[in-house]
A = this chain, B = another copy of it.
Amino acid sequence: MDPRVEKRLGLKQLVDKVVSAEEAAALIQDGTVVGMSGFTRAGDAKVVPMALVERAKNEKFKIDVYTGASLGPEVDNYLAAAGVINKRGPFQGDSVMRGLVNKGEISYVDAHLSHNAELVRQGIIGPIKHLILEAVAITEDGLIIPSNSVGNSPIFAEYAENIIIELNISHPEALIGIHDIYVPGEQGKRDAIPMTNAEQRIGEIGIKVDPAKIKAIVISEEPDAPSLIVPPDEETQDMANILLDFFRSEIKAGRLTNELMPLQSGVGSVANAVLDGFADAEFENLVVASEVLQDAVFNLIDAGKVRFAAATSITLTEELQKKVYGNLEKYADKICLRPQEISNHPELIRRLGLISINTALELDIYGNVNSTHVSGTKMMNGIGGSGDFARNARLGIFVTKSYAKGGAISSIVPMVSHVDHTEHDVDVIVTEQGIADLRGLAPKERVKLIIENCAHPDFKEQLWDYYNRAYEATGGAHTPHILEEALSWHVNLAKNKTMKKETANA
Known: A104-B471, A115-B424. 18 other contacts (CB 8 A): A102-B474, A103-B476, A107-B444, A107-B445, A108-B478, A112-B391, A119-B439, A122-B394, A125-B440, A187-B352, A188-B261, A191-B196, A347-B347, A368-B419, A377-B474, A378-B474, A387-B424, A484-B487
- Known interface pairs A353-B187, A353-B188. Does A373 touch B124 (Cβ–Cβ under 8 Å)? no
Tell me whether B101 and A478 are in contact (CB under 8 A): yes
User: Mask for A182-195, Cβ within 8 A of B = 1, else 0?
Assistant: 00101110111110
Tell me whether B478 and A350 are in contact (CB under 8 A): no
Interface residues of A in 116-175 (CB under 8 A from B): 118-119, 122-125
Interface residues of A in 324-352 (CB under 8 A from B): 345-347, 350-352
Is A479 located at the chain interface by the 8 A CB criterion? yes
Nearest residue (CB) in B for A115 is B424
Which of A103, A439, A477 has most chain B Cβ within 10 Å? A477
Is A494 located at the chain interface by the 8 A CB criterion? yes
Specify how many copies of this chain sit in the oligomer: 2
Which of A184, A368, A378, A494 has most chain B Cβ within 10 Å? A378
Nearest residue (CB) in B for A187 is B353
Is A201 located at the chain interface by the 8 A CB criterion? no
Tell me whether B476 and A483 are in contact (CB under 8 A): no
Is A249 located at the chain interface by the 8 A CB criterion? no
A20 / chain B contacts, CB cutoff of 8 Å? none
Q: In the bound complex, what is the Cα–Cα distance between A391 and B107 (angstroms)?
A: 23
Q: In the bound complex, what is the Cα–Cα distance between A392 and B353 (angstroms)?
A: 18
Nearest residue (CB) in B for A185 is B351
- Known interface pairs A103-B475, A192-B193, A346-B346. Does A394 touch B187 (Cβ–Cβ under 8 Å)? yes
The one of B123, B262, B444 in contact with A255, judged by C-beta atoms closer than 8 angstroms, is B123
Nearest residue (CB) in B for A287 is B188
Q: How far is the CB of A437 from chain B (nearest CB, A)?
A: 9
A494 / chain B contacts, CB cutoff of 8 Å? 483
A192 / chain B contacts, CB cutoff of 8 Å? 192-194, 196, 347, 351
A105 / chain B contacts, CB cutoff of 8 Å? 476
